């Protein structure tokens, strides 16, 4: 039995959720600066003739971090407003400045996906993985692109790669479960969803836990004709 439209809507949600949440956890420059400052306090004292050079290097590093943060924050703001073309333009400028930034390529893939440019999105996610081989988020994102085309086997392959890197990646577990359900593997789908639910609860991600509970209930009741 196939998922109804409501479940399909839930299925494509994790990508946008990741896009909006990951920026706030990775690109908060004050925390980066705090770590840098803390490390400098505990580093061995350097000869005085190096002090000026060290300070200059630190200032340059902080400036680069700030520049990267501003690019990403702008792109994320445009994305949140639904201005995907504007977000794409901002990210391409960012990647021209920082071509080896895996996260930038990942974010570009998200933006391209939202514009239904699926092949380009996959290429961007693959570039992120080339730069950062254990990029579970990017593998999960490729899986979502395949799933949006009902390429379930390809989608499951990507979700499993993400889970090999991070077995507790609850978003990938949820997406894998939905793909398993689409291929009539109900028991495996339920097992994957149950694990995802436990992880979401442990992480205090109540909204995601609620979504998974709803999907679990629908799958468990799927043999009831009135719920088909």
Asked if pLDDT for residue 152 goes beyond 70, the answer is yes
**Rounded CA separation 74/116 (Å):** 22
- Predicted confidence (pLDDT) per residue in 103-143, tens digit: 999 999 999 999 999 999 999 999 999 999 999 999 999 99
- Predicted confidence (pLDDT) per residue in 205-223, tens digit: 999 999 999 999 999 887 6
**Rounded CA separation 226/91 (Å):** 47
CATH class of 5-40+52-227: mainly alpha
pLDDT band, residue 75 (cuts 50/70/90): confident
**Rounded CA separation 27/19 (Å):** 12
Burial class (CB in 10 A: 0-12, 13-18, 19+), 25: exposed
Average pLDDT of the chain to the nearest whole number:
78
The pLDDT value given to residue 221: 87
**Rounded CA separation 71/53 (Å):** 27
pLDDT, average across residues 17-33:
29
Asked if pLDDT for residue 70 goes beyond 60, the answer is yes
Q: What is the value of pTM for the model shown?
A: 0.73
Q: Using an 8 Å Cβ cutoff, are 72 and 94 in contact? A: yes
The pLDDT value given to residue 24: 25
- Predicted confidence (pLDDT) per residue in 40-55, tens digit: 333 334 445 467 666 6
The pLDDT value given to residue 66: 82
Residue whose tokens read 């994102």: 141
pLDDT, average across residues 19-37:
28
The pLDDT value given to residue 155: 97
């Amino acid at each position: 039995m196939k998922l109804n439209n409501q479940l399909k809507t839930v299925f494509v949600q994790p990508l946008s959720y990741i896009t909006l949440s990951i920026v706030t956890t990775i690109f908060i420059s004050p925390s980066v600066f705090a770590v840098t400052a803390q490390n400098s306090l505990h580093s061995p004292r350097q000869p005085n003739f190096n002090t000026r050079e060290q300070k200059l290097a630190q200032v340059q590093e902080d400036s680069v971090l700030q520049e990267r943060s501003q690019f990403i924050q702008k792109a994320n703001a445009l994305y949140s407003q639904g201005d995907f073309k504007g977000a794409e333009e901002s990210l391409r400028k960012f990647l021209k400045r920082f071509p080896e930034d895996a996260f930038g390529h990942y974010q570009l893939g998200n933006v391209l996906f939202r514009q239904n440019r699926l092949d380009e999105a996959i290429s961007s996610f693959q570039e992120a993985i080339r730069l950062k081989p254990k990029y579970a988020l990017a593998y999960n994102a490729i899986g979502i692109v395949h799933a949006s085309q009902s390429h379930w086997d390809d989608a499951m392959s990507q979700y499993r790669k993400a889970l090999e890197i991070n077995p507790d990646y609850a978003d990938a577990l949820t997406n894998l479960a939905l793909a398993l359900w689409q291929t009539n593997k109900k028991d495996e789908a339920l097992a994957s969803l149950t694990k995802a639910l436990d992880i979401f609860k442990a992480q205090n991600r109540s909204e995601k836990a609620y979504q998974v509970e709803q999907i679990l209930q629908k799958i468990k009741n799927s043999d009831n004709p009135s719920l088909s």
